[in-house]
Structure 1
């Protein structure tokens, strides 16, 4: 059974291991721990296996921002990133939810577009030669 919940410190080691598997180092361990402590980290698990996680902030010009979505390589292309993003958007109190991805990350661009996010801008010079594309999802009126 698949489920999404707020991560706890008991999940830290597993989330850091997934992140390290994806990026090749443990440079974000402190960021992941802080997000867990501040209840800004959602995780996706299937049966007893944690398959991905999402980290958010609430300080992007007064709006919510999804700063990181990581899915275990062996669990990709199964809708996990979409499930995490949808779960976050549903619980957001912000009228707009922003996120971003590199221009080279076409897979994530497709996820955002499929979920109704639209391009909102571009930031150059974060990663040399790979602009960051900003996306936004505007809340549906009630």
Structure 2
């Protein structure tokens, strides 16, 4: 999983974050041919709702429905009524994933990444 993340962002800066999510059982994976090809990290303390904090699919495995599989499974097991997530305004690919899975735009946060606002999305079960 750390290698997939590195493949996407170009470094291992989230290694400890990923390991912690696994330890806390806040991580779902999708496999193909017994290899992990993507993962979703979440928490359930975003104003008492769930939040998908990281959704990564290996670039070689994209456009095969893996992100949708992770999202739909997460929705099916979720203990909260609403799910939130976010992506940068520049991340058009992730915005399309959210839209295709029924998420709607809920707001924007400025100043997290200079010149690239964070768009908040949500969906209800």
Range class of TM-score, shorter chain: over 0.9
Q: CA deviation at 1:50?
A: 1.0
Structure 1 stretches of 5 or more lacking a match?
1-14
| CA RMSD, 1 decimal | 0.7
> Which of the residues 94, 97, 102 maps onto 1:111?
97
The equivalent residue for 2:45 is 59
Q: How does 1:88-103 map to 2 (within 5 A)?
A: 88-103=74-89
Structure 2 stretches of 5 or more lacking a match?
none
Q: Distance in 2 between matches of 1:78 and 1:131?
A: 28
State the TM-score, normalizing by the size of structure 2.
0.97
The equivalent residue for 1:41 is 27
Say yes or no: does 1:75 pair with 2:61: yes
Runs of 4+ in 1 over 4 A off after TM superposition: none
Deviations 1:51-85 (A, max 9, x none): 00000011111100000001001001111111111
Say yes or no: does 1:122 pair with 2:108: yes
State the TM-score, normalizing by the size of structure 1.
0.86
Q: Distance in 1 between matches of 2:72 and 2:113?
A: 27
